[in-house]
Chain A
Amino acid sequence: MISTKSLSRRGFLNMGAAAGAGLILPKTGLIKPAYAAGPLAPVAEEDAHIAFGHTGPTSDEGWTWAHDQGMKAVEAAFPKLRTSYVESIPYAADATRIFRQFVADDACMVFATSNYGDFLYDVAKRAPDVAFYEADGRNPLDNLGTYYVSHWYPSYVAGIAAGAMSPSGKLGYVASFPVPSVYSGTNAFLMGARTVNPEATLQTIVINSWFDPQAATQAGTALIDNGCDVLFGIMDEAGYLQVAEERGAKAVMWNTDLRRYGPNAYISSIIVDFKEFYVEQVRRRLAGEWTPSYDLLPFGGGVNVDAWGETVPADVAAKADAVKASIMDGSFNPFMGELKDTKGNIKVAAGQTMTEEELYHWNWSIEGVSGLDT
């Protein structure tokens, strides 16, 4: 039996199972029973080099910025160790070169803050003494763990406010790639919106990047031109929020509080915080306690909805907050059947609840979401 070490996160232990953190088991059970091999050897703080590889620039005020804050927290907690990071790593062979360079530079721990798949996996395989973590990772190794956030809960809560604030019931979504985090984000958002407007639909545009302000702005414009009046997305910057502000629409963002880019348009944001996670993992690595974990940071610790925007009506905010509280105390799980895919097939039967793993690996759109399923 594999167990993850619980995070030292306040409120973590008393969270309900539905919103609980936990363990993401790989889909095909590829985890080898390697824990018998024991944790990696301890490293003295002054000898330690912790490296971070990012998909975007640390100045993005979004995903990469949040991870960079995590690195700064590590530096504050362990002032004697060395950190380094590389920004804007492409999803190409260059990624392998960069991760190999970290290893050559004697990194004892490498965090890839995005899914680099084989580009990271191949490096980790050849460097068994180095601890690796991959955000939104899928393919674990004895020295390669994964971590991500259970963002579907805050996405659902934000969807409730979005549904209430969308007169047309047409929601738009600026997507990076058709990957599980986009499926779960779009589905959760629309499910939340449908609790207030059962007729709501969600249209997505895929831009093939996590950080491309120009493409995100164009996609946001196209969605509003198509009649969408609330935008959501999974971008690492504020591009489509500014579009929404100019066009009198509303927007829900990701990663950080971005309200100053569109104070009237801003509904909320899926806020992420990796500081405690990083400090705890580095502590385990230095102490010689590290084995790979498969962590989903829970709703309320690591991921949350931001304070509501100034144009969100009080009754809408109260309604969404009530749902948020019921998810957090474990009394309500929104991801229950019956759920149909875009072709009308029943994918989750009535009364059945989706597991955390199913949510993590979600790879089909619910009825009402367009633009992802081919």
Chain B
Amino acid sequence: MSTIRLQRMPIAPAKVSFVLRIISVLLALLTTAIVLWATGRDPIALGGKVISSTFGSTFGLEDLSLLLSPLIYCGLAVAVALRIGAWNIGAEGQFNFGAFCAAGIALFVPGPTWLILILMMVAGAIGGALWILIPTLARAYADVSELITTLLMNFVAMLLVYWVATGPWLDPSGMALATTARLPVSVPPVWGIVHWGLPIGIILAFALALFFTYTRWGYEVRIAGANAGAASYAGMPVKTQLIGVMLLSGAIAGLGGMMEVAGTVGRLQGGISNNYGYIGIMVAVLARAAPLGVLATAFFMAVILNGGIILQSQGLTTHTVLAVTGLILLYAAIGDEAAHYKVLRTKTGES
């Protein structure tokens, strides 16, 4: 007589997890469809509406691309830190502080547009790195969990942006409320209203993928992330790497903030990040911290979030849309975990 046993494998086979992920998304959509159908709506018509509105028009594709940009930056930021085993829950704050630094350059430094834009990118990246500096040093030298410190820094950054945008940097014209003046420079468009933030983010993802795969530093980071003790024993500078990678993580999120404020929104104001930093955590986890995977999962999240907006305009409440989004992520997470298991048949009675 044989029994069926499940064995957990440390690494899920890529093919299995890919198939399971597709199945889990389909199951989530099916569950949603059943619930919608049970509440008297037409799930097929709604689904068709989401697809045609997102992919069937220039306007839908533009919106999707604009939403994709901050998700890529925040996803990459979290993913990079995960490579060395650090949880950057603070992409939200670094995004805000990067946007703040970039807006400061745009508002107060005169100069030719190209120079100001470069300065803004540098300022955004440095701002993001600065915002994670204290959690980084605390983690590297005092073993303080970055999970808590990066999270707490978020609230400080968000309140700082609210304060400057409604106080010292408030638009003096009186034509806009609770925001700075429109920035005099903006990231140039590449297609329609989609600006260069998106292609730069995609290039960044490829650069990071190459970096982690082909450089010694990238290799050492991977080893340190997998087993810091072993890496240290092998003579790798784990602490230096940790500091470098976490600052890089913050810089990427800060650059994302710069692109959002200078490309999409055009003004610095409270709430511009709109939880992108937190969604970035989901993006990175679903991508298993692989930079190229981030491109795929960020696209997936952008489609879901944009679909949510379309569903809202069709009369579904925010809460329903949030539940649908959560359901898809829950199923995807279950599918990911399931991919680690292998079904084994064993005969009982044998040892």
Contacts and interface: CB of A to CB of B under 8 A. Distances in A.
A340 B206 CA distance: 60
A84 B66 CA distance: 24
Nearest to B276: A92
A91 B318 contact: no
A100 B177 contact: no
Given A27-B175, A104-B59, A104-B60, A97 B67 contact: yes
Q: How many interface residues does chain A have, given as a range?
A: 35 or more
B274 A92 contact: yes
Contacts of B179: 117-118
A169 B174 CA distance: 32
B166 A97 contact: no
Interface stretch (A14-22, A37-45, A177-185): A177-185
B270 interface: yes
A90 B271 contact: yes
A374 B162 CA distance: 13
A306 interface: no
B213 interface: no
Interface in A83-124: 84-88, 90-94, 96-98, 100-102, 104-105, 115, 117-118
A138 B313 contact: no
B98 to A, nearest CB: 16
Nearest to A363: B174
B46 to A, nearest CB: 13
Contacts, number: 107
Interface in B150-192: 159, 162-163, 166-168, 170, 173-179, 182
A208 interface: yes
A98 B309 contact: yes
B166 A138 contact: no
Contacts of A208: 159, 162, 270-271
Contacts of B306: 97
B273 interface: yes
B269 A91 contact: yes
Contacts of A67: none
A100 B59 contact: yes
A27 B173 contact: yes
A90 B274 contact: yes
Q: How many interface residues does chain B have, given as a range?
A: 35 or more
A374 B167 contact: yes
B106 to A, nearest CB: 15
A306 B53 CA distance: 44
Nearest to B57: A104
Contact of A93 (B162, B174, B274): B274
Interface of A is mostly: loop
A191 to B, nearest CB: 22
Interface string A68-94: 000000000000000011111011111
B260 A93 contact: yes
B269 to A, nearest CB: 7
B267 interface: yes
Nearest to A99: B313
A209 to B, nearest CB: 9
Contacts of B176: 117-118, 138-139
Contacts of B166: 177-179, 206
A28 interface: yes
Contacts of A363: 174
B121 to A, nearest CB: 19
A94 B312 CA distance: 12
A130 B4 CA distance: 64
A177 B265 CA distance: 19
A229 to B, nearest CB: 28
B198 interface: no
Interface in A47-67: 51, 57
Contact of B174 (A27, A118, A136): A27
A177 B315 contact: no
A30 interface: yes
Interface string B282-321: 0000000000000000000000001001101111011000
Contacts of B267: 117-118
A93 B67 contact: yes
Interface in B126-150: none
Contacts of A86: 309, 312-313, 318
Nearest to B318: A88
A97 to B, nearest CB: 5
Contacts of A102: 313
Interface string A194-213: 00000000000010100000
Contacts of A91: 178, 269-271
Interface of B: 53, 57, 59-60, 63, 66-67, 159, 162-163, 166-168, 170, 173-179, 182, 260, 264-267, 269-274, 306, 309-310, 312-315, 317-318
Nearest 9 A/B pairs, CB to CB: A92-B274, A374-B167, A179-B177, A177-B178, A86-B312, A101-B313, A27-B174, A88-B318, A117-B176
Interface of A: 26-28, 30, 51, 57, 84-88, 90-94, 96-98, 100-102, 104-105, 115, 117-118, 136, 138-139, 177-180, 206, 208, 361, 363, 374
Given A104-B59, A208-B271, 7 more contacts: A51-B313, A86-B309, A101-B63, A115-B177, A138-B175, A138-B177, A208-B159
